[in-house]
Amino acid sequence: MKAFIVDRYGKGSGRLGQMPEPELRPGDVLVEVHAAGVNPLDSKIRNGEFKLLLPYRLPLVLGNEVAGVVLRVGPAVQRFAPGDEVYARPRKDRIGTFAERIAIDQADVALKPKRLGMEEAASVPLVALTAWQALVETAKLERGEKVLIHAGSGGVGTIAIQLAKHLGAHVATTTGSSNVDFVKGLGADVVVDYRNEDFEKTLRDYDVVLNSLDAQTLRKSLNVLGPGGRLVSISGPPDPQFAEEMGLNWGIGQVMRLLSHRIRTAARRRRVSYSFLFMKANGDQLRQIGGLLDERKIRPVLDRVYPFESMAEALAHVETGRAKGKVVVTVK
Ligand SMILES: NC(=O)c1ccc[n+]([C@@H]2O[C@H](COP(=O)([O-])OP(=O)(O)OC[C@H]3O[C@@H](n4cnc5c(N)ncnc54)[C@H](OP(=O)(O)O)[C@@H]3O)[C@@H](O)[C@H]2O)c1
């Protein structure tokens, strides 16, 4: 089958080529890929930035989000049948959605929201699960609380703003000047244009911050939180609890302890919590998110759709860091 293959890690690596058909395990569904979402995670994996955390065997088929049609199911699968339209973020050790077909554990799959086309659906799983796991699971965001969502115009931010509004929160976000009206349209109550204003000076007494930016933004975010606030970062640094959850060895756990020492100490002093989140595949949560999409509580935002042949350009577009919503490739 045709796939986008990484033979060696490095910037600009990856090519379209032929790979063997995926092997179907008893609990798997075989999905014919119609569209695949492209994320910064793909380019980071391709560039070798995740070698320690995610030790893939090369050649690797890249791709972490998919929408498509079930072709076959393993003997232990009860929830899905051939012909079902589905979407998924396959678990981290079984990625490979930039391909004509992929076998995915049924626990990671949900029926595609009926209202969405394949391209829209493919843009959702990784970013919506991230927003859900950050705001609902980790921060336990409640109605009436104040949340700051950084980079509101990006893949994660566009969904996180809408989810936070749905949960009844007051939402502030940061974005560039040209995206201010766009994020207001998604529901943001307060918008800080990071090119002209400093969020640290204008926002006070927030309950939750979702950080997806650099270390300086993370540190400044502490000053926005009131006592008891929760700082959740999806862009690092990883903390010891994450190392434990991932079952990483003692040495790597110690590295993570050191990397996060400063922010954990600063957070403790301010009586706020710090958590690093690395999102996980979860078909049940995707089903709940699908309900919100079908009820129009949230909507996907597509920046650009590329044909599969232009996979390298799609990745390059994501790497600019300027995407407004999501980038998707159509495979079928
Ligand atoms: N740990 C996890 O589980 C997890 C999951 C998903 C994503 N992530 C990480 O989270 C980060 C964001 O992911 P994403 O998919 O949302 O990225 P993205 O879609 O590429 O983000 C692009 C957006 O970021 C905005 N932006 C850039 N610099 C900014 C700044 N200084 N302040 C405010 N906005 C800024 C840009 O707006 P302008 O064009 O206006 O600058 C653009 O709209 C990535 O590093 C990704 O790897 C982690």
Torsion angle of C-alpha atoms 267, 235, 60, 253, degrees rounded to 10: -10
Res. 301 pLDDT band, cuts 50 70 90? very high
Opening angle at CA 137, ends 135 and 142, nearest 5: 55
Q: What is the DSSP letter of 223?
A: G
Strand partners, 30: 72, 103
Distance between Cα 48 and ligand 1 center (Å)? 19
Structure-token pair, residue 160:
């996180």
Q: Check whether 53 has a pLDDT greater than 90.
A: no
Distance between Cα 38 and ligand 1 center (Å)? 13
- The percentage of the chain sitting over the pLDDT mark of 90, rounded to a whole number, equals 97
Distance between Cα 323 and ligand 1 center (Å)? 8
Could you tell me if 67 and 113 are in contact, meaning their C-beta atoms sit under 8 angstroms apart? no
Distance between Cα 209 and ligand 1 center (Å)? 14
Distances (CA, A) of 110 to 141, 247, 260, 302: 24, 27, 35, 21
- H or E stretch including 217? helix 215-221
Structure-token pair, residue 5:
């293959």
Write out pLDDT tens, residues 19-51: 999 999 999 999 999 999 999 999 999 999 999
Distance between Cα 77 and ligand 1 center (Å)? 36
Ligand 1 pocket at CB < 6 A:
39-41, 127, 130, 150-151, 153-157, 174-176, 179, 194, 212-213, 234-235, 277-279, 318, 321-324
Write out pLDDT tens, residues 67-107: 999 999 999 999 999 999 999 999 999 999 999 999 999 99
pLDDT for position 248: 87
Could you tell me if 191 and 208 are in contact, meaning their C-beta atoms sit under 8 angstroms apart? no
Could you please report the per-residue DSSP string of 24-47? PPTTEEEEEEEEEEE-HHHHHHHH
Distance between Cα 128 and ligand 1 center (Å)? 14
Atom of ligand 1 nearest to the CA of 41: 47
Write out pLDDT tens, residues 242-254: 999 988 889 989 9
Widest distance between CA atoms in the chain: 58
Write out pLDDT tens, residues 149-162: 999 999 999 999 99
Q: Check whether 171 has a pLDDT greater than 90.
A: yes
Structure-token pair, residue 268:
């403790």
Ligand 1 atom 14: the closest Cα is on which residue? 155
What values do phi and psi take at 320, rounded to 5?
-65, -20
Tell me which residue has tokens 């159509």.
330
Q: Is 247 left (phi over 0), alpha (psi -120 to 50) or beta?
A: left
Please choose from 39, 92, 95, 260 the residue to mutate so as to test ligand 1's pocket, defined by most ligand atoms within 8 A of CB.
39
Distances (CA, A) of 142 to 93, 122, 152, 208, 225: 33, 28, 19, 10, 15
Atom of ligand 1 nearest to the CA of 236: 1
Ligand 1 atom 10: the closest Cα is on which residue? 212
Tell me which residue has tokens 């395990």.
25
Please choose from 41, 95, 183, 198 the residue to mutate so as to test ligand 1's pocket, defined by most ligand atoms within 8 A of CB.
41
Distance between Cα 101 and ligand 1 center (Å)? 28
Q: Check whether 52 has a pLDDT greater than 90.
A: no
Distances (CA, A) of 214 to 86, 158, 236: 34, 19, 8
What values do phi and psi take at 257, rounded to 5?
-60, -45
Measured between alpha carbons, how far apart are the two ends of the chain, in Å?
12
- Determine the average pLDDT of the residues in 309-326: 98
Structure-token pair, residue 131:
């927003």
pTM of the model: 0.98
Distance between Cα 302 and ligand 1 center (Å)? 14
pLDDT for position 58: 97
Q: Considering the chain, what is the average pLDDT of its residues?
A: 97
Q: Check whether 237 has a pLDDT greater than 90.
A: yes
Classify residue 79 by burial, with Cβ atoms within 10 Å: 0-12, 13-18, 19+. Answer: middle
Tell me which residue has tokens 């796991």.
133
Please choose from 43, 322, 324, 327 the residue to mutate so as to test ligand 1's pocket, defined by most ligand atoms within 8 A of CB.
322
CA 81 centroid distance within chain: 27
